Amino acid sequence: MDFDGAHRCFDVLRAEAFVAGLQKAYETDPDLLGPNPRANYEMGIGMGLADCVRAHADQTRLFRRFQTLFHRYDVILSPRLARSRRSSSRPTKRDALSPMPPGCTHRMST
């Protein structure tokens, strides 16, 4: 299966979520954000509408292609999910300002 463009799609959608969730905090005091949320927010405000439109279209195409696999397979295993490295496994106050995906009720430590 071709996942071409998946990383860029993820980066844009993640940055878009950070802008949506952190705009007020960033505009109040950018130093309230940790380095990762701030970098994601700043990446998002640097993107244009065309970036967002393309990412949403790519996400839909990837989702539809992935769903076709379930016509043939019941379970799909992945070796692991990528995650960023952190210097500490304990959440900080700045982590509390990181947006969480809709429906997510807890934060996993890394």
The domain tally of the chain equals 1
Residue 105 maps to a domain: no
Residue 109 maps to a domain: no
> Please, are residues 90 and 109 in contact by the beta-carbon 8 Å criterion?
yes
Domain range enclosing 69: 6-97
Each residue's pLDDT tens digit, 81-103? 666 555 455 555 555 455 544 44
Residue 106 maps to a domain: no
Each residue's pLDDT tens digit, 42-57? 999 999 999 999 999 9
Residue 66 scores a pLDDT above 90: no
> Please, are residues 36 and 85 in contact by the beta-carbon 8 Å criterion?
no
Residue 77 maps to a domain: yes
Residue 76 maps to a domain: yes
